[in-house]
């Protein structure tokens, strides 16, 4: 009887691990198998938020359209470079450089013409340039002298706009031709500054257009990648009773 009990105990010790089985190997997703078979980096533990989403997308070769748009909003053409379509993005980058050069040219030229105009007024109309506003120079270009300007403002019943010659706000043109020359210079400088505003608007449009194009490029890239990987099938099979230790992975793609 003792022998039977001993044999029963030994049998249970041997059978228990077999009945319990070995720990199950964690199953991997189809994405992970694709990453492994296509030599793509696998998921990283601890990834959260937008950065994780961007890394997950790039991990499978995808590009985030929103991220591409942000890149091009900052620097036109960079979003297209990120999305793999710099062939179109380079034109936005070239346009950006040309627009900024134009903006700087209008700024420099406008400043130069304005300085020439004010120097002309100081020379030919005895204008004191210290602390004078743009509106003061507009008035200098429109009236032959301070008295003519003040008379007009008094007739218009706007005495608060009258200038005090004793406080350095006086001028006297030698001729109407000199006044017209100054006025032409001043208007020309203002036109340069107005052109600068239009260029600034064009720069903004270039940023937005590049951002839209970059997002579309990222979407097109993802669509092409989906076509490449969409028909990819990964299957696994065991060797069966004849070869229980064998394990096969089959990778197929439909055309």
Confidence of residue 223 (pLDDT cuts 50, 70, 90): confident
- Distances in Å between the alpha carbon of 35 and those of 50, 135, 195, 255? 21, 68, 53, 21
Task: Look at residue 61 in the predicted model and tell me its pLDDT.
Answer: 77
Residue 192: name the closest of 96, 98, 112, 101 by CA: 112
Among 106, 77, 103, 108, residue whose Cα is nearest residue 201: 103
Between CA 107 and CA 114 the distance in angstroms is 11
Q: Do 70 and 58 meet the contact criterion of CB atoms below 8 Å apart? A: no
Where do we find the tokens 């959260």?
Answer: 48
What pLDDT is recorded for position 255? 54
108-141 residue pLDDT tens: 999 999 999 999 999 999 999 999 999 999 999 9
pLDDT in tens, 52-81: 555 555 555 789 999 999 999 999 999 999
Buried/exposed 84-108: b ≥16 CB within 10 Å, e otherwise: bbbeebebbbebbeebeebbeebee
Confidence of residue 91 (pLDDT cuts 50, 70, 90): very high
Are 248 and 239 spatial neighbours (Cβ–Cβ below 8 Å)? yes
């Amino acid at each position: 009887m003792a022998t039977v009990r001993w044999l029963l105990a030994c049998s249970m010790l041997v059978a228990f691990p077999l009945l319990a089985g070995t720990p199950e190997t964690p199953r991997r997703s189809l994405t992970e198998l694709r990453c492994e078979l296509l030599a793509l980096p696998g998921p990283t533990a601890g990834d959260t938020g937008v950065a994780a989403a961007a890394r997950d997308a790039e991990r499978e070769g995808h590009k985030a359209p929103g991220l591409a748009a942000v890149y091009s909003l900052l620097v036109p053409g960079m979003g297209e470079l990120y999305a793999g379509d710099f062939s179109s993005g380079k034109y936005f980058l070239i346009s950006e450089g040309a627009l900024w050069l134009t903006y700087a040219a209008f700024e420099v030229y406008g400043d130069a013409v304005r300085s020439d105009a004010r120097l002309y007024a100081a020379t030919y109309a005895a204008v004191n340039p210290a602390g004078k506003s743009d509106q003061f120079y507009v008035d200098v270009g429109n009236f032959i002298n301070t008295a003519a300007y003040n008379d007009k403002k008094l007739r218009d019943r706007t005495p608060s706009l009258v200038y005090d010659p004793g406080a350095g706000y006086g001028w006297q043109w030698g001729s109407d031709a000199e006044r017209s020359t100054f006025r032409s210079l001043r208007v020309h400088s203002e036109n340069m500054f107005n052109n600068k505003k239009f260029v600034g608007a064009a720069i903004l449009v270039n940023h937005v257009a590049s951002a839209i194009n970059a997002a579309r490029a990222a979407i097109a890239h993802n669509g092409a990648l989906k076509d490449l990987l969409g028909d990819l099938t990964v299957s696994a099979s065991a060797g069966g009773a004849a070869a229980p230790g064998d394990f096969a992975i089959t990778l197929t793609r439909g055309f």
